[in-house]
Amino acid sequence: MDLDSKEVAKGTVDMAKLTADIAAQKELAAKGQRAQAIEGLLNLEKSSRLAEDVVATKACCSAILDLCHDARDWRALEENVMLLTKRRSQLKQAIQATVRQAMSYVDNIEDKETRVSLIKTLQAVTEGKIFVEIERARLTKRLAAIKEEEGKVDEAADILQEVAVETFGAMAKTEKIAFILEQVRLCLDKKDFVRAQILSRKVSPRAFVERKGEGQGEIGIEGTAIEEADKGTPGLPELKLRYYELLIRYYSHLNNYLEVTRCYRAIYEVHTAADDKEKWTPVLKAVCWFLVLSPAYSTKEGSSSDRTTLLTATLQDKKLGDLPAYKALLNTFTNNEVIRWTAFEATYGPEVAASGAVFSEPKRLEDLKLRVIEHNVLVAARYYSRMRTSRLADILSLTPEQMEKHVSELVVAKAISAKIDRPAGIITFAAAAAPEEQLNGWAGNIAKLLDLVDKSCQLIEKEAMVHKVALTSSA
């Protein structure tokens, strides 16, 4: 919020005299009479405040805080911050300047308890004041960081969730995104995945596109001027990477490989835009592996068409030509040919071992073998209408019981239509007709039957006319 724009152009206080008075009080404090100096500065602050001179009031407040800081008297600093911000008819600009100056002292305090005490004092001062909501958010973030350093992750997450920065009109977009992503990270560390998902939805992928009106000094919501982001706030490209890395953590917990693939694709696009081969190469490998780990049929996590779109886009990427092994990997799962697990493991085993980030969990390797089995079953269902269960088990390199289990799971997932005749040992791949299809078939058969009856009647009448035979109906 651009409070400085509202300052009085010509104050009613003689600044030259005020400056001299402040210097005199500082000299008094240097002689060991700090309490008397602060009392004198409070009197100067009162006269400036009653005169509604913003510049003079801020100068008096700043001098008081400087005396406390120079003496390293943090207790007096807290007391004077509370006093200055709670004084009657205190100017908003003076409160904001006081809070910001006190915030600059936080990092200079070595004692952790004293630092936390000052932060909590400033939080109490800023509570309920919209014009210092950004300062309050930054203080909350510092307090959460201190709690996290102490190993209190749950408490840090709870503290940070108290602030809804998405409603702050004057906060820079990069700082908002960084704050929300920090909330998401702490929730993931806390294993609160539901709340992490809710918080992540506050950030849209479109937010990482730079637009006019979002920089410092531009006009934002409700005519407020957007302030400069806090020191150390990363830019949009880095925030985009952080955003998708957090989503990868979330979707990996759910084993939603299709969404993980989308996240890696977004990270890959950032690195390719920067033309950094060392960074995009491992990401592209991860994209290929998670595409293979994604089911080839529609599930509640995603549709098969989405997977096909990602698979086609990846295969058409020219940079995949630099990774021939991974291009062959994707082609293996697009071809309608049976994959022998032993040969597959021998070919891609070294790549699996090298992709420690992808196969960090044992379940990933189990799912990879499952995808190979499912691919083989889909290939068999595409080429055969009926076959013996022993033959299918041999193709899949499984026992009859394991084969039946996997086929049943694909039927339940509606990936294939199949019926198993256990006594005969025959499996039939046939799609069950929908009710609409059955009705259409019956209607077509009845139409053919009526047409045949009509033609038969015509032929009978023709023969009767040729042979002059009278057709009579029996009573």
419-421/426-428 β-pairing: antiparallel
Neighbours of 282 (CB within 10 A): 16
Considering only 1-15, 33-47, 430-444, which range has the smallest mean pLDDT?
Answer: 1-15
455 and 362 part of one domain: no
Residue 11's pLDDT is what? 52
Q: Say if CB 29 and CB 73 are below 8 A apart.
A: no
pLDDT one-digit tens code per residue, 317-332: 999 999 999 999 999 9
Q: Looking at the domain assignment, is residue 406 inside a domain?
A: no
Residue 440 confidence class, pLDDT cut points 50, 70, 90: confident
Average pLDDT of the residues in 77-84? 92
Long-range contacts of 119-127 (CB under 8 A, 24+ apart): 119/143, 119/146, 121/78, 121/81, 121/82, 122/81, 124/82, 125/81, 125/82, 125/85, 125/86, 125/95, 125/99, 126/99
Q: Looking at the domain assignment, is residue 307 inside a domain?
A: yes
CA distance 113 to 295: 53
339 and 452 part of one domain: no
378 and 466 part of one domain: no
Residues 6+ apart with CB under 8 A from 373: 341, 396, 398, 406
Domain of 340 in residue numbering reads as 275-383
Q: Looking at the domain assignment, is residue 411 inside a domain?
A: no
Token output for 471:
């057709």
Residues 6+ apart with CB under 8 A from 463: 469
DSSP 8-state symbol, 426: E
297 and 376 part of one domain: yes
Q: Looking at the domain assignment, is residue 359 inside a domain?
A: yes
CA distance 187 to 157: 6
Q: Which residues pair with 421 in a beta bridge?
A: 426
Q: Which of 344, 366, 383 is the last residue of a domain?
A: 383
The total number of structural domains in the chain stands at 3
Q: Looking at the domain assignment, is residue 303 inside a domain?
A: yes
Burial, 307: exposed, middle or buried (Cβ in 10 Å; 0-12, 13-18, 19+)? Answer: buried
Residue 5's pLDDT is what? 40
342 and 454 part of one domain: no
Q: Say if CB 431 and CB 439 are below 8 A apart.
A: no
Considering only 47-51, 269-273, 468-472, which range has the smallest mean pLDDT?
Answer: 468-472
Residue 355's pLDDT is what? 85
CATH of the domain at 36: 1.25.40
Residue 7's pLDDT is what? 42
373 and 453 part of one domain: no
CA distance 419 to 438: 19
Q: Which of 94, 127, 160 is the last residue of a domain?
A: 127
Q: Looking at the domain assignment, is residue 318 inside a domain?
A: yes
Q: Looking at the domain assignment, is residue 34 inside a domain?
A: yes
Q: Say if CB 215 and CB 226 are below 8 A apart.
A: yes
Average pLDDT of the residues in 183-192? 94
Considering only 241-255, 362-376, 453-467, which range has the smallest mean pLDDT?
Answer: 453-467
Q: Say if CB 78 and CB 84 are below 8 A apart.
A: no
**399 in helix, strand or coil?**
coil
What's the mean pLDDT when you consider all of the chain? 88
pTM for the full model? Answer: 0.82
State phi, psi for 302 to the nearest 5 degrees: 175, 160
For residues 341 and 209, the model is more confident at 341
456 and 360 part of one domain: no
349 and 471 part of one domain: no
Q: Looking at the domain assignment, is residue 184 inside a domain?
A: no
Res 399 pLDDT > 70 = yes
Q: Which of 127, 142, 177 is the last residue of a domain?
A: 127
- The count of C-alpha atoms lying within 13 angstroms of the C-alpha of 65, restricted to the half-sphere facing its C-beta, is 25
